[in-house]
Structure 1
Amino acid sequence: MAVVSTDLIEDGQLLKECILIKENTKSPIDNRIWSKSEKKQWVIGLFSGTTFLYAARTIMPLCVVAVSEELHWDKTESGMVLSAFFWGYCMTQFLGGYLSDIVGGDVVLPIAACMWSLITFWTPWFAYLSTDKNYALYIVVLSRVLLGASQGFHYPGMTSLISRKVLENQRSFTYSVVAAGSYVGTLLTGSLGSIMMDEYGWQMPFYCIGLLGISWMLLMRYMLIAKQRWRNGGLSIYSEPLNEKTGKMEQKTPVPWLILLTKPAFWSLLVGHFCENNAFYILLSWMPTYFHENFPSAKGWVFNVVPWVITIPSSIGSGYLADLMINNGYSVTFVRKFMESVALLGTALFLSLISFASSYSMCLTCLALAVACCGFHSSGILVNPQDIAPRHAGSVFGIMNMAGAIPGFIGVYVAGHILEATKSWNAVFGQTAVVCLFGWIVFILFGTGKKVI
């Protein structure tokens, strides 16, 4: 049996490796972690994909005021459109993780990207497909459901890849950098999207982000994934993780769901992620509307940009700090709970303080810091499935993110209903803070960074 060197850093070895691969194309060749150069390329690629993914996701929250005025939607109908995304997003989380664990994230991600990019590009056309208000609303809601379903494959696929290709003491930083793309994407929509909307109408951001998503898919497919498969003799980059003691590839086994469901750590993961996402999705979906209503003279590019600018370093910095703490001897459990405490307690604190703020600058500061605290979630619960189930991280993450998507359609819709009934933003932010506190208590009591399955 031919043996392929695990060091692909030197370009001079590439021809030799390709010859060896062709001698044994039926073997799972790429059964190793990424080299330094490979990890850099994949991090850049996945970061870019997450950026465009969130840019596509956040266009509707940015444009919902303009769209609702043109199409005559009230707050409840706007909330239904905003929350519809998460109905679809919830449906495909487990499927995305399961398929990624089986066939590889390199197969799943490009297909999903093609779908959500095309739906984004066609959204303005969907809005004008019927002259009847109700039919037009239902069509837009359906397109948002499909957008969520196609985007539901991204994070589980990405998690499955990273869990197999990155060492445990490097995962926090790697994942936090990739996850920071979500804030960059929101920033991209809030800045350039706001300008395009003001200059060319609300339709233009949908067209541009849709094209960017298609471009990213093609670049990943033909410049990075194809390159890896050429090195592997046409095989997927997917492989089972290596056993740290024997150095051999572990055998594929089904997810032991019955055992997992008896573990308090798994349930604390679901509850904590649910509660944090409840805060994040409400802020993501309703923050532009909050500023439009309370400070109508404020510039959209300011409040759509500032929160996400400061969240990018908080996400990346939390990942660097988490890996540094682990390398300095702190337990993975302590690090995950510390990061999640900053995320959930910090978000709850600043959402509570906003009820005492009256000026535009104070409200912007409180909401920006609340969003920035959410960035620490990337090195807390978000990476935790790779700790408790490294061989099934994609599937476990899919279940976790399915639970995390529920507040997307319930919390966002309920927030719109509360606003329609009470006209009180403090009521929305107050109940969101309480949910964050509950999630923190559960994860602190039952969460762990140890492998459970």
Structure 2
Amino acid sequence: MAAVGIRSGDVHVPCTVLIKDKTVPTGKYWTRSEKHQWALGLFCGTAMLYASRTIMPMCVVTVAEEMKWDKTESGTVLSAFFWGYTMTQFLGGYLSDRIGGDIVLPIAACLWSMITFWTPQLAYLSTDKHTALYMVVLSRVFLGICQGFHYPGMTSIISRKVHEQERSLTYSLVAAGSHCGTLLTGSIGSILMDRYGWGMPFYVIGMCGILWMLCMRYFLVARHRQRYINLGPNGSPVVSMGAKDSQSVPWITLFTKSAFWSLLIGHFCENNAFYILLSWLPTFFHENFPDAKGWVFNVVPWVVTIPSSIGSGWLADHLIKKGYSVTFVRKLMETIALCGTSFFLVLLTYCSSYGASLACMAVAVACCGFHNSGILVNPQDIAPRHAGSVFGIMNMAGAIPGFVGVYIAGHILEATKSWSAVFNQTAGVCMFGWVVYIIFGTGKQIVS
């Protein structure tokens, strides 16, 4: 005989489940132990995601020399990832809200890990320059398609299983994995590339992604799904991680709200800066300071960004618990992110020494970390029951500068040879996003 938890409508009633003489707690939110385990698992997954994503930006100078690509062609390769990344954002959020992000993430991870592993082989399938370029571009597109499921799925999980007063820190901790993954590629990846060639980072990180997927599937998903039991239609126990009900997302209401549009615009503008820095930072230092060690400028900006991301999450939750409104906190975090990034990008154009340039670049990237506690967590505030779907739409808009902004930056460099032109226009876009979000953004729930 087994006692089961009761689910009534949208309310999960905390109770105790007796299964095979074992007492299992159920409820709406994770326990502290579960939260720590899932935060660690998702942190590692996000690290692997970004480690895979940033291999090509790190290797692009070496690959371009070998394949004889110009700046525009290099920009095409770098931006191709975001063509695919844009396609699956909404689908990732929709599926995660319906069937659970814990199912979606491992499947997607298996696919993007295998694509990462096989990318070098695809580049050598043809000796023709243009055919090889097309193959690499295609692999980057499919990598983006598969990775597009990760953040919406992660957002859906956290919005359902973490209390609103703890979401900023939890999300910032998990999102800090992106900087750790970039750091991993910039350090270990640089060493592997220098010693064994540019293909080795793809092989190693691809295998690490598959290993994470297997650990996630068997040590977190399978075990924790057994701890959330509901009554099925026939009265028998049914495993559930608390996926959303089938109520459709009120898109008409959302699209008539200025707060929702400010979310899209602010995320677009911040991502424009982040993706340009992520994609072109190695090239900037290679061209302007050719004697600089690659592992230094590929590591330092991401080292300082990890504490800024986690610290911003702690600060945001602390301010909310102290009584400050969620709206104030989100706008404060976004002010630091957008205005700080803009200021140091402009300052970078006046730097002539390697040390000053590295410091400005590092602080500019560190300011981006505050975005994790601002707009990035905002969908969970305005639409907590549909956070995955809303995040998917937001991140779809945010992925557009990944292929437009990164490509345009390459085209500007090819035409003008001016890094100042790239940084100044990026700073201007940041300020536009800040003004829009400050005026129209909110941390209040706008749809039920």
Distance between the aligned counterparts of 1:150 and 1:357, measured in 2? Answer: 39
Q: 2:432 aligns to what?
A: 438
CA shift at 1:355, angstroms? 1.1
> SS at 1:298's partner residue?
coil
**Alpha-carbon deviation of 1:65?**
0.5
* 1:165-203 superposed Cα distances (whole Å, 9 cap, x missing partner): 001100000000000000000000000000000000000
Q: What is residue 365 of structure 2 aligned with on the other side? A: 371
Cα deviation for residue 230 of structure 1 reads: 2.9
Q: Is the 8 A contact 1:17 1:231 kept in 2?
A: no
Q: What residue is the counterpart of 1:238 in the other structure? A: 242
Q: 314, 326, 333: which is aligned to 1:332? A: 326
Q: Alpha carbons of 1:21 and 1:141: their partners in 2 closer, same or farther (altered >3 Å)?
A: farther
In structure 2, relative to structure 1, the CA distance for the partners of 1:7 and 1:300 (3 Å cut) is farther
254, 275, 286: which one aligns with 1:292: 286
Deviation at 1:333, TM superposition (A): 0.1
Q: 1:97–1:397: 8 Å Cα contact kept in structure 2?
A: yes
- Residue 166, structure 1, aligned to residue 162, structure 2: yes
* Structure 1 partner of 2:395: 401
- The match for 2:50 is 54
Q: TM-score, normalised by structure 1?
A: 0.93
Distance, in Å, in 2 between the alignment partners of 1:271 and 1:18 is 52
Instruction: Write the distance in 2 (CA, Å) between the matches of 1:204 and 1:258.
Output: 48
Shift of residue 18, structure 1, vs aligned partner: 5.3
CA distance in 2, matches of 1:375, 1:221: 29
Closer, same or farther: CA 21–262 of 1 in aligned 2, 3 Å: farther
Question: Which of 314, 322, 327 does residue 316 from structure 2 map onto?
Answer: 322
Partner of 1:359: 353
Alpha-carbon displacement from aligned partner over 1:285-332 (angstroms, at most 9, x marks no partner) = 000000000000000000000000000000000000000000000000
- 1:224 maps to what in 2? 220
Deviation for aligned residue 1:228? 1.3
User: Runs of 4 or more off by more than 4 Å in structure 1?
Assistant: 5-8, 17-22
Asked whether the 8 Å contact 2:3–2:19 carries over to 1, the reply is no
Shift of 1:19: 5.7
2:211 is aligned with what amino acid? S
Name the SS for the 1:33 alignment partner.
coil
Q: Give ranges in structure 2 of 5+ residues lacking alignment.
A: 7-12, 230-237
Match for residue 303 of structure 1 among 297, 300, 305: 297
1:231-269 deviation per Cα after TM superposition (whole angstroms, max 9, x unaligned): 3466241334xxxxxxxxxx5411010010000000000
Counterpart selection for 2:88 from 77, 87, 92: 92
1:17-416 alignment runs, 5 A limit = 17=19, 31-232=27-228, 235-240=239-244, 252-416=246-410
User: Which is richer in strand?
Assistant: 2
Task: Report the 3-state secondary structure (helix = DSSP H, G, I; strand = E; otherwise coil) of the residue aligned with 2:323.
Answer: coil
Instruction: Give 3-state SS (helix, strand or coil) of 1:239's partner.
Output: coil
Alpha-carbon distance, 1:61 to partner: 0.1
Is the Cα contact below 8 Å between 1:106 and 1:238 reproduced in 2? Answer: no
SS of alignment partner, residue 231 of structure 1: coil
Q: Could you tell me the TM-score, scaled by structure 2's length?
A: 0.94
Report deviation, 1:105.
0.3
| Aligned CA-pair RMSD | 1.8
Does the Cα contact within 8 Å between 1:96 and 1:154 map onto a contact in 2?
Answer: yes
Number of matched pairs: 432
Identical-pair percentage: 71
- What CA distance in whole angstroms lies between the structure 2 residues aligned with 1:132 and 1:114? 30
